[in-house]
Amino acid sequence: MHEAGLAAALAEELLEIARREGGRILRFSVEIGALSGVDPEAFRLAYEALRETVEELRETEMQLVLVPGRFRCQRCGREFEGDYFAVCPGCGDPGKSVLSGEELLLREVELDV
């Protein structure tokens, strides 16, 4: 489960932010794209387990924001939601560019300073 490694990297980043800003992390949000290969529930569970072992993170609140896969058709330019196997609903062409959905981003952090 690579989500455990991702949760550990997130915890390290949060601890670094808290040290740098001289505060305590209260809550934060993470964007997880539908195309990222990250299972949101497994990520949540991994972070919750890790949070119990790291005193500085024990009281934190994590919000997960799920980002759908969005594409732009290379033929007609239409934007649409889907996965890597989707074809353009307008012209049926399989050629597309990814606009969103691959992200795994620490988007917002609230601190008590």
18-69: per-residue pLDDT in tens? 999 999 999 999 999 999 999 999 999 999 999 999 999 999 999 999 999 9
Q: Are 65 and 104 in contact (CB under 8 A)?
A: no
Domain regions of the chain by residue span? 2-112
Does the domain at residues 2-112 carry the CATH identifier 3.20.20.70?
no
pLDDT of 113 above 90: no
Amino acid symbol at 32: I
Burial letters for 65-81: b for 16+ Cβ neighbours within 10 Å, e otherwise?
eebebbbebeeeeeebe
